[in-house]
Amino acid sequence: MTSILPAEIPKLAADAIVISVHPKPDEGEWLLGPNAEQINQLTGGLVKRLIEESEIVTSPLSCTRILEPAGLRAKSLLVVGLGKPSEASPGLAFRAAAAAAKALATKQRRRVLMALDVEPQDEVVAGVFVGSTGQDLYRQQRKLFPITAPLIVDGDPKALERGEVLGQAINLTRRLVNAPPNEIFPASFADICVEQGTTCGFDVEVWDRARLEQERCRSLLAVAQGSANEPRLVIMCYQGAPADHATIGLIGKGVTFDSGGLSLKPSESMLDMKCDMAGAATVLGAMTALARLQIPANVIGLVGLVENMVSSTSYRLGDIVVARNGKTIEVHNTDAEGRMVLADVLDVARERGAQRLIDLATLTGACMVALGRNVAGGMTNDESWYADIAAAARQCGEPLWQLPMFPEYSEQIRSAVADIKNVGDGRWGGAITAAKFLEEFVGGQPWVHLDIAGPAFSEKGSAWLDAGASGCFVRTLVQAIENQA
């Protein structure tokens, strides 16, 4: 990435220049930001004239392209609409830049100047990386061409670096989730964790089946026992602060493919189950960003990696499983497998010294029924810790809504023959009863559970993001930990 001065804009031979505009206020004149006003003057008032003639759409995230604008050496000028000035936020900066980048990424463009009048710059840069990158990993004819070296007006080097790191971390998460299950399975995911640790600067420990058995991770192993692909548990350690500082634990569900097991999913529900490891991919993406940015914090990231498959060795309805912390679990549904995996991983995180926990999982369809496809559900045993995570999510513009954790929900997971069962009583409150199940394994540590089943993966794209994996909550995790540092 390169920073240019405003005075250099008239001389810049770019493939495209991107500016931003707000909707017209109810009263008064159009107000253009400094970069947009400079472009307007260089083009002889073209920008303002086209806005007044409604040729430029100013609604949020709308994009209007002007080809070969007079007064500029750029091949095209792209105008992206913003919300009202009072609605400015880092999340809007991210999405506006992503929308512009997506609109321009339909062909290869080498020199793109992002002259948006929005802040902060790191969110703009991250948005460019994310919006211009699609899910077409295996197409011979690409639909989107990544913009990997945007130009920024008056760019701050630290902000540009941070934006690039965040964008690449999000895209790593998206690539892993978008990749097919014959490429991303427990062992290959673990190998990628090792590679990223070496590249980015954090330690990685991998537990294979023998170590998992030795560590009594029987709940995780029960889910994995129907698959020919061996399970893994990966422990990633980043120490950016002195050893006596608190350690934050990030825990991710890594079901690399979920058939539902003996509680078999129908085909239409199974097609996108490569995405059931989005929680683990989010943890890995966040770990790479934390290490590359050298955030002064101590973080341990743990991902439980399994396939949930159907075979003669699959775990069964009615099985009793003894989890790592000694609790007995009666299996009522083999498709409620993510919580079985997380049960043991949470216990390992607690034992490894994590004093505050955040887990992320595409855990329940019930959360999507409650909140829709674009909002994550948050549940906690510690309101103060949850408030910190929610504040970071608001900073990043990633929608999160808290669901209640009343003690009565715990009664729904009590089993007549074991300590607990892996589903609640019927379909009601399914996202919450899943969280109450997980709460049994956090040992009383401050803990936040993020059910990202809705926003982690989408069959339809948006103005600012291609369909498929979103990489949601990578930014929130980094922001939350940075806020604690």
Alpha helices in 244-308 (DSSP H): 267-270, 278-293
Reply yes or no on whether 265 is catalytic. yes
Extended beta strands in 243-340, E state: 247-258, 298-308, 320-322, 328-330
Which residues are registered as beta bridge partners of 398?
none
Reply yes or no on whether 339 is catalytic. yes
Structure tokens at 412: 């729904």
**Active-site residue (options: 265, 327, 352, 394):** 265
Answer whether 20's CB lies under 8 Å from 51's CB: no
Alpha helices in 330-472 (DSSP H): 338-351, 365-371, 383-396, 430-439
Alpha helices in 56-203 (DSSP H): 90-104, 121-131, 157-178, 186-200
Query: What is the number of alpha carbons within 13 Å of residue 376 lying toward its C-beta?
Result: 30
Specify the 3-state DSSP secondary structure of 149. Answer: coil
Answer whether 291's CB lies under 8 Å from 202's CB: yes
Alpha helices in 235-360 (DSSP H): 267-270, 278-293, 338-351
Biggest distance spanned by C-alpha atoms of the chain: 79
**Active-site residue (options: 339, 350, 421, 436):** 339
Alpha helices in 10-155 (DSSP H): 34-42, 46-52, 90-104, 121-131
CA distances from 445 to 272, 277, 288, 318 (A): 33, 24, 25, 30
Write the DSSP symbol of residue 215.
T
Identity of the residue numbered 370: A
Report d(CA 24, CA 21) in Å as an integer: 9
Question: What contacts 302, CB < 8 A, 6 or more positions away?
Answer: 233, 234, 235, 236, 249, 250, 251, 252, 283, 345, 348, 349, 352
CA distances from 349 to 234, 382, 455 (A): 11, 17, 25
Write out the catalytic residue numbers: 265, 339
